[in-house]
A = this chain, B = another copy of it.
Amino acid sequence: MSEESVYSSEENKINSYVKEGDLAQLVGMRHAFHLVHIQAGQTVHTHRGIIKHDDLIAKPWGSQIFSHMGSPFFILKPSIADIIRTTKRNTQIMYPKDIGFILITMGIGPGSRVIEAGSGSGGLTQALAFIVGDSGHVYSYEKRDEMQKLAQENLINLGLEKRVTFILQDIENGFGETEVDSIFLDIPNPYDYLPHVRSSLKSGGFFGTILPTTNQVIKTLVELRRNSFAFTDVCELMLRYYKSEADRLRPTDRMVAHTGYLIFSRKIHHEEEQIREFEELKE
């Protein structure tokens, strides 16, 4: 999954086949997912039978294969969203709909230097590591030892561990980095750490957080104002899937109603009073 130069036509062909070391997903009936690292001699055990890695190697990506019980599977290269959805987790993990919007809104891409806390199971960490490329870097804070280990394991699995520095530390003493492009806090009380965010974020940089309750949003808005952040947006994204049948196109019966309120804000090089004036003028 690491960043490669634009492939020659020959290389592209080679990349069209499953080979050792690849990260693959096996998709069976009812869209059951299995994320596997291809290694000669290994096997995958599914509810619908056993599949040998040797039977996968050299198959074109997108091929159909069968378990020893005759159950059909397709072998596909997982997208970063697929990986996040199937990542090993101990905690609630962020949803791709929110992660995609966070990345694009905060302008996180190749070359970005980003702090996140907490690492949790490493769902967002994986997306950040993927998107910052070899030229960017992610600093991921977590205070619980076992959570950090899981996040690290998930990054190693993805082959992107070099792009992430994991720091086992409570953020109450702040972050070791300065002048980073953006900071994302996925913790219940981001409002307690905004002075630290301010110290480590470059002027004009992006702060983001996701919070389940309106009470937390209200507290965060108060503290953002107090800490000279401005251009604050609060929003939520609702994702509705449809049954993908041409003759009966309709939404699914049920959906996720709420993952969290997203807050985005920017560090402003200015005193609180002037920002307040500005915000009031604009209304």
- State whether B282 touches A31 (Cβ < 8 A): yes
CA distance A15 to B112 in the complex (A): 12
Q: Is the interface of A mostly helix, strand, loop or mixed?
A: mixed
Given contacts A6-B136, A79-B107, A238-B238, contact A203 B244 (CB under 8 A): no
Q: Which residues of B contact A202 (CB under 8 A)?
A: 12, 15-16, 61
> Nearest chain-B residue to A283 (Cβ)?
B30
| Closest CB in chain B relative to A271 CB, distance in Å | 9
User: A90 within 8 Å of B by Cβ?
Assistant: no
Q: Which A75-122 residues have C-beta < 8 A from chain B? A: 75-82, 96-97, 99-107, 109-111, 113
User: A175 within 8 Å of B by Cβ?
Assistant: no
- State whether B242 touches A261 (Cβ < 8 A): yes
- State whether B250 touches A253 (Cβ < 8 A): no
Q: Which A205-259 residues have C-beta < 8 A from chain B? A: 205-206, 212-215, 217-219, 221-222, 225, 230-258
CA distance A225 to B246 in the complex (A): 9
User: A167 within 8 Å of B by Cβ?
Assistant: no
Q: Which A34-74 residues have C-beta < 8 A from chain B? A: 60-64, 72, 74
- State whether B96 touches A109 (Cβ < 8 A): no
The interface size bin for chain A is: 35 or more
- State whether B269 touches A214 (Cβ < 8 A): no
- State whether B257 touches A254 (Cβ < 8 A): yes
Chain A residues close to B by CB (< 8 Å): 2-7, 9, 12-13, 15-16, 27, 29-31, 60-64, 72, 74-82, 96-97, 99-107, 109-111, 113, 127, 130-137, 178-179, 202-206, 212-215, 217-219, 221-222, 225, 230-258, 261, 263, 266-270, 274, 277-278, 281-283
25 A-B residue pairs with Cβ-Cβ distance under 8 Å, sorted by A, are: A3-B135, A5-B111, A6-B137, A61-B203, A62-B268, A63-B203, A63-B269, A63-B270, A64-B278, A74-B230, A74-B270, A78-B107, A79-B107, A96-B101, A96-B105, A97-B101, A100-B105, A109-B130, A214-B218, A214-B250, A218-B246, A218-B247, A234-B241, A238-B239, A238-B240
